[in-house]
Amino acid sequence: MKLTETKDGTIIEIYVKPNSQKFEVILEGDELIVRCTEEPVKGKVNKELLKALSKFFHANVELVSGATSRQKRLLVRGVKEAQLECLLEPKGFR
Protein backbone atom coordinates (compact mmCIF):
# COMPACT_ATOMS: atom_id res chain seq x y z
CA MET A 1 0.00 0.00 0.00
CA LYS A 2 1.54 3.27 -1.09
CA LEU A 3 1.00 6.13 1.34
CA THR A 4 2.73 9.52 1.24
CA GLU A 5 2.32 11.96 4.11
CA THR A 6 2.11 15.66 3.16
CA LYS A 7 1.44 18.85 5.12
CA ASP A 8 -2.24 18.66 4.05
CA GLY A 9 -2.80 15.00 4.90
CA THR A 10 -1.87 11.66 3.35
CA ILE A 11 -1.92 10.65 -0.31
CA ILE A 12 -3.04 7.08 -0.90
CA GLU A 13 -2.67 5.16 -4.18
CA ILE A 14 -5.48 2.78 -5.10
CA TYR A 15 -6.63 0.57 -7.96
CA VAL A 16 -10.34 0.76 -8.80
CA LYS A 17 -12.51 -2.04 -10.20
CA PRO A 18 -15.88 -0.64 -11.36
CA ASN A 19 -19.15 -2.56 -11.88
CA SER A 20 -18.69 -4.78 -8.82
CA GLN A 21 -21.63 -6.30 -6.98
CA LYS A 22 -20.79 -4.47 -3.75
CA PHE A 23 -18.51 -1.66 -2.62
CA GLU A 24 -15.46 -2.94 -0.77
CA VAL A 25 -11.85 -2.10 -0.05
CA ILE A 26 -9.35 -4.96 -0.12
CA LEU A 27 -5.65 -5.08 0.61
CA GLU A 28 -4.04 -7.61 -1.75
CA GLY A 29 -0.35 -7.88 -1.06
CA ASP A 30 0.95 -4.33 -1.27
CA GLU A 31 -1.93 -3.00 -3.41
CA LEU A 32 -5.13 -1.39 -2.17
CA ILE A 33 -8.04 -2.39 -4.41
CA VAL A 34 -11.41 -0.65 -4.27
CA ARG A 35 -14.39 -2.35 -5.87
CA CYS A 36 -17.08 0.16 -6.82
CA THR A 37 -20.66 -0.62 -7.81
CA GLU A 38 -21.01 2.24 -10.30
CA GLU A 39 -20.20 2.24 -14.02
CA PRO A 40 -17.18 4.25 -15.18
CA VAL A 41 -19.42 6.84 -16.91
CA LYS A 42 -19.49 10.61 -16.28
CA GLY A 43 -17.43 10.36 -13.08
CA LYS A 44 -19.90 8.10 -11.25
CA VAL A 45 -17.13 5.85 -9.92
CA ASN A 46 -15.14 8.84 -8.65
CA LYS A 47 -18.19 10.26 -6.86
CA GLU A 48 -18.97 6.92 -5.20
CA LEU A 49 -15.33 6.48 -4.23
CA LEU A 50 -14.91 9.93 -2.68
CA LYS A 51 -18.22 9.76 -0.80
CA ALA A 52 -17.60 6.29 0.67
CA LEU A 53 -13.98 6.91 1.63
CA SER A 54 -14.77 10.32 3.15
CA LYS A 55 -17.38 8.63 5.33
CA PHE A 56 -15.03 5.79 6.30
CA PHE A 57 -12.03 7.99 7.13
CA HIS A 58 -14.19 10.74 8.73
CA ALA A 59 -12.19 13.22 6.66
CA ASN A 60 -12.39 15.06 3.36
CA VAL A 61 -11.05 12.90 0.52
CA GLU A 62 -10.01 14.53 -2.76
CA LEU A 63 -8.94 13.08 -6.10
CA VAL A 64 -5.33 14.14 -6.80
CA SER A 65 -4.79 12.23 -10.06
CA GLY A 66 -6.31 9.47 -12.17
CA ALA A 67 -9.77 10.90 -12.87
CA THR A 68 -10.15 8.68 -15.98
CA SER A 69 -7.79 5.89 -14.94
CA ARG A 70 -8.21 2.85 -12.72
CA GLN A 71 -5.01 3.86 -10.89
CA LYS A 72 -5.90 6.80 -8.65
CA ARG A 73 -4.18 8.97 -6.08
CA LEU A 74 -6.37 10.38 -3.31
CA LEU A 75 -5.60 12.96 -0.64
CA VAL A 76 -7.12 12.23 2.77
CA ARG A 77 -7.04 15.68 4.40
CA GLY A 78 -5.83 16.02 7.97
CA VAL A 79 -5.09 12.32 8.46
CA LYS A 80 -1.59 11.04 9.18
CA GLU A 81 -0.04 8.04 7.44
CA ALA A 82 -0.04 5.93 10.63
CA GLN A 83 -3.77 6.57 11.15
CA LEU A 84 -4.57 5.35 7.62
CA GLU A 85 -2.49 2.22 8.10
CA CYS A 86 -4.42 1.39 11.26
CA LEU A 87 -7.78 1.90 9.54
CA LEU A 88 -6.90 -0.15 6.46
CA GLU A 89 -5.18 -3.13 8.07
CA PRO A 90 -5.69 -5.98 8.55
CA LYS A 91 -9.05 -6.56 6.84
CA GLY A 92 -10.18 -3.33 5.17
CA PHE A 93 -13.90 -2.55 5.27
CA ARG A 94 -17.12 -3.47 3.48
Task: Map out the domains of the chain with their CATH numbers.
Answer: 3-88 (3.30.1200.10)
Percent of the chain whose pLDDT exceeds 90 = 72
**Predicted local distance difference test score (pLDDT) of residue 90:** 60
Q: 25 vs 6, 7, 8, 29, 34, CA distance in Å?
A: 23, 25, 23, 13, 4
pLDDT band at 94 (very low <50, low <70, confident <90, very high): very low
Given pLDDT bands bounded at 50, 70 and 90, which one contains residue 60?
very high
Given a cut of 60, whether residue 92 has pLDDT beyond it is no
Q: What distances in angstroms separate CA 41 from CA 6, 26, 46, 69, one per listed residue?
A: 31, 23, 10, 12
Q: What is the pLDDT of residue 91?
A: 52
Dihedral of alpha carbons 23, 33, 17, 62, sign: positive
